[in-house]
Structure 1
């Protein structure tokens, strides 16, 4: 069956196909520690939950305090669907925000949002405590603070099994260095999009950590501290979120219309591509063999960052002429999971980005 026929048949079943990167579950659910269930404590925790959510959705820790969100801060109930308490430990207030009303309120405030498809981070985390050093493994109790921090900051996180071979790699020398090659090779079996190396050290009553983050060919680094290992984990992952978000979030007014042509398309890849293009309002314009053309709106740099999660590569300029964008090809469907087939007119775009698998 030809690809364009498969797309029409398969577009209604996109949700059953595997996604690229990873869809963050419970993105609009926030837990904040509380010291009791008094009205004042609930109000304080609700405001903290709102700030956490806005930071999680924008990557900007200052966004929640902006003047444009004053009405939401005054009455956060307008975007909250329900509350609940979790006995813990630690005891916490669980706030479920309504996705539709939350996104609408933040967009009306002029904020650009980071979608739920986010890069999977492979964390090589060495805890260097007074009783010795330990590489945090997936099945260890020391992994729980990292998982809680990742959920709190809206990041998909994976940890190594920390077997003997991985422990020899995840040492202080490797994690403090800037050569990602050993970690990249050891991470291959976990299939991450990004690699995070953290060397956390206990120093008296404080924990301090240095971190390096690699995504694609770019490296970020920084340091953080906390009164406990859990606080350090949250501080590190907050910093990581703030470094990643600008690659995937475009400020209002920074977008432009363009065409995206992708070569090497299959039905499964199409489903994956549709998910990644959701933040760009992707509309499938045409299908020609194993090539598809989408009309999208965004910045070229943001689009490149998002599609790098699919391991897509840009077609060299010298080869682009062999793959022209044909606006007269088969019209297709709006690129949105669960939508019905809608015919679209051939669009126009200011520029074309050519990628391939």
Structure 2
């Protein structure tokens, strides 16, 4: 299993044990609905879980994989059509995860023929330098199925988060690449890494500036002393730990890197002429390896789209029944089944039709669902100002582009490191192999003090 050690869920369900939810005209009370979900032998265990606490871990969902900004010369139809193709090519690289997948004649033809049909929305904007751009949002379901039709596996939105210790030896000194602060050379390397990661849809976290002048840390990175490096980020959300040593190689650069997740995940050495090229090649190797492991086979993409919904504050059987009933009543939802239940949280897996954005709109209409905000970053110093390139929960915004595929898209890609329980650990390991983000809400039953506000409002 990937990332930190994962425990088997306390409750696991199997299709043969579960009946579909009752329809909107066949309402039942909370206990009866739960009885439809679980065999009766599980009901006592569910009640026990509502009364017990479970330790915390972390889960990461990436948003914005299907959104890009593409520069355009003007507002003509021809320029817009070309932007559609360029934008779709960028999205496909993120979603397929493997550059080789885009080289086939079938995918190339699909980009040329279907790009306009896969665009869900677009709008024009002007950047700070006066460059006109087209903001494109492609439909996740449509893009995934288009790739699957070409026999290409699809890498979903639930992706491992890598914390990277990166040290650069210029031949004159050694510097840590941090997310804020530092000098101009360090900033250039930071921007190159962020832009490369954004272009591949890879969640990447860099250390805060509090470690920037830590000579002992630089020595630990150089020696790849894993126990010490792990200890420094024990409380920082991440699934993978990257250790990278960059040094001069003639007129260019060379990076010796290692990825580990409790055991070694991979290692290699890459070289390039510039920081941007080096970052692109190294991050590309990371993305290719992860996509190879977690991409969903093309044959599985067409079998009904599934998404997990994780709800906090589901504290008793009445709440559980109300949630399951409300989801089953939503028009896009074909089927709902439970994944896990803990003391104050329940996770459901919904099979749905149409685009995920439509399902989210239906959920937003029910005021009992409150969007859960991303967790704060425990690695950041309170006195440390956040820069546009800060890699806490939020937006990735490099100051310069590292590769053509990553141009103009970094300000749209987001990830949310949120706490999960160890009982959900195995489900989260499996979620790396699912296509769509885990949707996180707090359940607010009718009759609470603030039940007159909509989802996402506090």
Shorter chain as denominator, the TM-score bin is 0.5 to 0.7
Q: What's the CA shift for 1:109?
A: 2.3
Match of 2:235 among 189, 192, 215: 189
Pairing 1:159–2:200 present: no
In structure 2, what is the Cα distance between the partners aligned to 1:79 and 1:130? 49
Q: Counterpart of 2:98 in 1: which secondary structure?
A: coil
Structure 1 residues 1-357: aligned runs within 5 Å: 20-30=58-68, 37=73, 49-75=87-113, 76-80=115-119, 81-82=121-122, 84=124, 87=127, 96-99=136-139, 100-140=141-181, 141-142=187-188, 143-164=190-211, 167-171=214-218, 174-177=220-223, 179-253=225-299, 283-284=337-338, 337=439
TM-score when scaled to structure 2? 0.48
CA contact (8 A) 1:59 1:114 kept: yes
Q: Counterpart of 1:189 in 2: which secondary structure?
A: coil
Mean alpha-carbon deviation: is it higher for 103-112 or for 83-92? Answer: 83-92
Gaps of 5+ in 2: 1-10, 12-29, 35-55, 182-186, 304-310, 316-334, 352-419, 427-436, 442-458
- Over 3 Å counting, the alpha-carbon distance change for 1:88 and 1:125 in structure 2 is farther
CA contact (8 A) 1:126 1:133 kept: yes
Q: Counterpart of 2:234 in 1: which secondary structure?
A: helix
CA contact (8 A) 1:30 1:152 kept: no
- Over 3 Å counting, the alpha-carbon distance change for 1:98 and 1:212 in structure 2 is same
- Over 3 Å counting, the alpha-carbon distance change for 1:288 and 1:230 in structure 2 is closer
TM-score when scaled to structure 1? 0.60
- Over 3 Å counting, the alpha-carbon distance change for 1:22 and 1:336 in structure 2 is closer
- RCO higher in structure (CA 8 A, sep ≥6): 2
Mean alpha-carbon deviation: is it higher for 23-32 or for 232-241? Answer: 23-32
- Over 3 Å counting, the alpha-carbon distance change for 1:19 and 1:232 in structure 2 is same
CA contact (8 A) 1:284 1:294 kept: yes
Q: Deviations over 1:279-317 (max 9, x none)?
A: xx98327979999998999xxxxxxxxxxx975677xxx
Q: What's the CA shift for 1:166?
A: 7.6
CA contact (8 A) 1:24 1:118 kept: yes
CA-based RMSD of the aligned residues comes to 4.6
Q: Counterpart of 1:63 in 2: which secondary structure?
A: helix
Mean alpha-carbon deviation: is it higher for 173-182 or for 152-161? Answer: 173-182
